[in-house]
Structure 1
């Protein structure tokens, strides 16, 4: 979440398993939940898995960012894609919007859509 805090800015709050009642040694200090609220109203929330829970990273989720603030969305795209892999370049698509897909450095799939004026 600290990487996404660098990308999106805003306020990051994290809670440990201990704050939610765990007294298990080695687990109580680990992050259980995190919430990032950007200055522009974007909210990202995440939960981690405790030891013993099944963990399947990567291909089981995708996060979509959409809006009409082209500069802001391009900036997010550049930071997310910089240390990851671009699967669809961010460019104008047949429906008129700019759209791209990438996988960030942590294996999370991102879809970014910049809506064009329909005027």
Structure 2
């Protein structure tokens, strides 16, 4: 198996809801394990929280996530975004519609100066998404 690079997102207690949402957006197979599944001692109220989740899609996307472990501080930041790009405009517009639906659009999905159709939004979980539809060069 080749090495792969994919985003890993830490949530503050809503990883399950976020990953189920992303499965609705992208499809695929979602596996989730809780802290309790791994017999994490001292998990207490966190026993039902997500220790590790992985979404693998038919399009080749992999997205991993977890809830912040007990005893660690959750530090959301603006230093992560997730980029999805390709040539299938219908598929990418479908992702855009779902991700931006209950979120905030910072760059509308439209043709940009570099020639591609691009948009950026923050979804309802505070994650920044960049969608880029590659345009054929003439």
Q: Normalising by the residue count of structure 1, what TM-score does the alignment of the two structures yield?
A: 0.91
1:70 aligns with 2:89: yes
Structure 1 regions of 5+ residues with no counterpart? Answer: none
1:23 aligns with 2:41: yes
2:54 is matched with 35
Over the aligned positions, Cα root-mean-square deviation in angstroms equals 1.4
- Rounded Cα–Cα distance in structure 2 between residues aligned with 1:94 and 1:83: 27
Query: Tell me, what secondary structure is at the counterpart of 2:60?
Result: coil
Query: Tell me, what secondary structure is at the counterpart of 1:28?
Result: helix
Deviation at 1:74, TM superposition (A): 0.5
Range moving further from structure 2, 24-33 or 83-92: 24-33
Alignment of 1:21-100 (within 5 A): 21-24=39-42, 25-100=44-119
Q: Normalising by the residue count of structure 2, what TM-score does the alignment of the two structures yield?
A: 0.80
Equivalenced residue count is: 119
Deviation at 1:59, TM superposition (A): 2.0
More helix by share: 2
